[in-house]
Structure 1
Amino acid sequence: MADMPRNFEASAEIMLSCPQDIMQRLCAHFVEFGAVAIDGARSRIDTAFGTASMEACLGCLKVRAEGRDESSLAYVKLSIAEHLLTFASAENPSIVWQGDGAAGQPLPYFREMRVVRTENLTPHMKRLTLAGEDLGRFATGGLHVRLLLPRDGVAPAWPVTGADGRPAWPEAGQRPDVRIYTLRRVDVEKGEVDIDFVLHEGEGMPGARFGCNARAGDIVGITGPGGGSVAPADWYLLAGDETALPAIGRILEKLPEGAEAVVRIEVADDGEEQRLTSRAGLDIQWLHRNGVAPGKSTLLEDAVRNVRWPEDDRSVFAWVGCEHKSFRAIRSYLRQDRKLTRQQHLVVAYWRCGFEGDTARREDS
């Protein structure tokens, strides 16, 4: 008889003054991302990646993490650690996982990649094709990856698994810049992915700088994937600015024949439009800012509010990616006016005026 695949497991006992309170807060957070069950001092969180079982004891929270593979387990440990340390920040508790995925090992969801091709898609968008090994995990599980961008003149130095499950980064001078991007295409057999870069101007834009200057042979790291997925539906609303265009393009290519997609995309001008293809029926409108700075118009918000929704019993799903101010307005409209459930929409802030990197995603709950 063939060996049954085993689960990967790890556990931690975390000293806390109010473990029951922290457990409740963790469960309240993860209810949006999976199934949560609470039974007195015990609880269980089931997500797409794996499971976290918790028990609140006197002065201690016992956590057991399980995943179907090393990467899944690593994501469970990482998610629990990040949020627990946020909720218990005043105590700054120590988290040390025992079991699979020991500290110091390479991150199982990391790959080193090299640039093999570049292509200018529009005046302000450039496509890089990256090559690497063992990319099967990046074909499913989310649209996005974190790019780890070596700093100019510094040899690549990558993070490893930390004792608390979070990445342990190299010293500040060697630490790469990190930005989130969409996997526009994944070809597992060729060992390639495409990533499209919006070529922003200004300081504090390591991603745009890398995309602009990249040459064949340049090295970059990626971790992931993540960022949620699109639920099956009969009718879709897909909306965003140019930062969401790669995700919208990839989503459209995966929609089945017979589905309908209403697409609204804000770009600088008609020179930034791209050809989008899908087996689904398409209603596409390009929204041109025509000189208005990115993040300073209401074009996308207005277009979403003007979409005519199905009046029959077809299932619907809305996906939106944009600047933080528009994100908040559109998410509020979908939840409060359209009455969409959390299972019927995914709205994300891809960026935020005046902020860098992941700070765009603060206050997104």
Structure 2
Amino acid sequence: MTENASNDKVEEEQDTPWTDDRVRWHEEFQEEHEKQQATTNQADDDEEEEESAFIDPFKDPDPFQSFQFSFQVDTSKITTTCTKSGGDDDDHRKDQHQENEETIKEASRTVDIEIRGYKTGADQVWKSTGLTLWRAAEHLCQYMAKNPDIFQGKSVLELGAGLGLCGILAHKLGARKVCITDGDSDALLHLRENVNTNKTATTINTLPTNNNTVSAHQLIWGKDTTERFLRSKQQQQQPFDVLIASDIIYARCIVEPLWETVDLLLSRRQDNNPPAVFVMAYAKREVPVSIEFVLEYAQAAGFSHKLVDEHPDGIWVYIFQRNNNTNTAL
């Protein structure tokens, strides 16, 4: 990290007190969850889950955890400009040879990220799931590292970021601007610390930029809250080229506000070349909402989708875009 980057603190703002347990223990979610559990006939497991919900202050004296990652980035897809000084033919051929050697060496590069949060089993995670890291985030990052051209030079926003791993990687891949958001006010405290720790003035291709910024903000999904968010950021944010999210689907009641938010964020684009996209990683888990339901709602909201990556453990990466785009990335 450079000295300038370390001195450039993430701006502070007043957040609305809100934690995602309000959604996860929503009445609709509870009823569907109870029905699902009844059909599995796992009463003993249910009793154990109820017991584990009680907070035990002596359970773990150190609930915090540092998460360290190294992503192998396919830099052959990164656009770079290399200017060579003039000279005679021999010098020019020598420079060209050195440039070719450098290109081969830079076919891939490792990007290291370290973030801090809570252990997955910590009591605090029962209230705010964004306080820890979930498996779909790492899988989405692996997809991003293989396709850095999607993010280089783009304006990127992450939804439901939690600890911010994917948004931080987008920043390190050379995104022009990155806005990392979460609705949970507890998660935002750790998110801003992680963003500040990982800010850098140098992108993946080691070219310093004057307009490579990353910030963290609160964004609670829904039409009204998203409109307020956009008004508050009107002087700071340009239209977003790419939205990203991972492991954000855990209840049916959040699907409608999610697509209201996605629709508003992508509707700010005045041009469709290239089209704005939403890249989402979905992890299969025991929750009363399926990926089929999410995809059907996306289609009804006017979005087409394409499955671009999948993992045997039940993680899928989809790219969504508006149906009214004359140009298409799908």
TM-score normalised by length of structure 2: 0.35
Structure having the higher strand fraction is: 1
Q: Which of structures 1 and 2 has the larger relative contact order (alpha carbons within 8 angstroms, sep 6+)? A: 2
TM-score normalised by length of structure 1: 0.32
